[in-house]
Structure formats: structure tokens, C-alpha cells
Amino acid sequence: ATAAVMQDSRLNVCMDAKHHKTEPGPEGQLYGQCVLWKDNACCTANTSLEAHQDQSYLYNFNWDHCGAMPEKCKRHFIQDTCLYECSPNLGPWIDQADTSWRKERIRDVPLCQEDCEQWWEDCQDAVTCKVNWHKGWNWTTGTNQCPRGAMCQKFKFMFPTAAALCEQIWSGSYRYTSHHRGSGRCIQMWFDPTQGNPNVAVAQYYA
């Protein structure tokens, strides 16, 4: 019985973090790329709108810290933000976080191969100065700037493989897998909401 209770507590949950709702539920007004989660979301409409801003108040994080990030690349980071803020299906990978701004984080979420490869493909010519975007920035201006001595380089040099990008950029939040979309074994960052949310079954499998 305890195992069943444990399993249930990891399904359809929101993590205890900066902008998450306490319980998932319908959000009719989700914005832009976050609309995939409108039937059952951990994010509010406001959060979904901010996820699309270049300099959003969510974390004061600037994608363009080494010059403008190409749009085709940026859409993956917006999608990554939508998944993180809105998905109620990340329970099996929620871990404790000892930071001032959140009590929980995700770790080793198994991303579908296509989602990771496409992210890497579209971002190869984007430019950054850091491999791990979670820490080590210079925040003196109130937004993230490259630390002193850090060189801006193209993603393809910073992240030589798709796995390097997905696994390193948010310090192990994602894990690169060889599982394919629709396999029921990996989390999709992108899906067709008219077909329902495929990540519900994935969370059940891992829980």
C-alpha cells in the first residue's frame, strides 16, 4: 500500500519552486508555446507570458548574454521554461534543492532523443560563455552577465554533443536518452495537445 501511495504522490504534482502553483489544474489563458499544458498546468497565465520575454521577471535571466540568441534556438529555451514551469508530470524526478529561491528542482528527467537533438541542432550557432547556466554568473547588474575572463563561444564548441547540451546546461536537470517520442519512456518537451499529453504515461511508468 505504501508503494502505491508513494507512486500517487509523485504523479500530477507541482514542485515547490519560485513560480509554481501548489496544485496543478486547468489554465485557460496560457500563452504562446506554454499552451500545450492548458488542460492541467503548474504555471499561471502570467508565468507563461513571462516565459516568452527576453528579460523576464521570472529569474531576470538574459538569453542574449553573448549577443542576440537566434529565434530558432530561443524557442527551445522557451519550451524548456514552459515544461519546467507548467508540467505536472515531472514528479518522479523532483529532488530537494537548497537554494534561496526554490525548495525543489528536477534531476535526470529522461528527455526524448529528438527533443534534445533538435535543441542542439537549432542552437549550434548561438553563443554563450558558460556550460552550466545555473551558477557562476556575474549578477552585479541584476541580470546575468558573463563572469570575468569567460569567452563567448558558439554552442557547438561549448557543447560538442546534444547530450552535453541537455545534461550540462541546467546542471543535470535533464538526461539524454536514446528513447524516441511516443515510446512512453521519455519526456517530450514538444507534443501535439490535441492528442493529449504523452508525459502523463511516462511519469506513471517511472513512478
Residue range 138-163, pLDDT digits in tens? 999 999 999 999 999 999 999 999 99
pLDDT value for 205: 96
Tell me how far apart the alpha carbons of residues 11 and 131 are, in angstroms, rounded to a whole number. Answer: 31
Does residue 117 register a pLDDT over 60?
A: yes
State how far Cα 24 lies from the chain centre.
17
- Give the up-direction half-sphere exposure of residue 14: CA atoms within 13 A in the CB hemisphere: 19
Q: At CA 206, angle to CA 15 and CA 131, rounded to 5?
A: 60
pLDDT value for 98: 79
pLDDT value for 6: 60
For the segment 69-88, the average pLDDT, to the nearest whole number, is 97
pLDDT band, residue 167 (cuts 50/70/90): very high
**What 3-state DSSP class applies to 97?**
strand
The burial class, CB within 10 Å (0-12 / 13-18 / 19+), for 29 is exposed
pLDDT value for 7: 62
**What 3-state DSSP class applies to 98?**
strand
Does residue 56 register a pLDDT over 80?
A: no
Does residue 59 register a pLDDT over 90?
A: no
- Give the up-direction half-sphere exposure of residue 149: CA atoms within 13 A in the CB hemisphere: 1
pTM over 0.75: yes
Please list the alpha-helical segments (H only) found in 51-104: 71-86
Looking at the DSSP bridge assignments, the partners of residue 110 are 175
Looking at the DSSP bridge assignments, the partners of residue 105 are 95
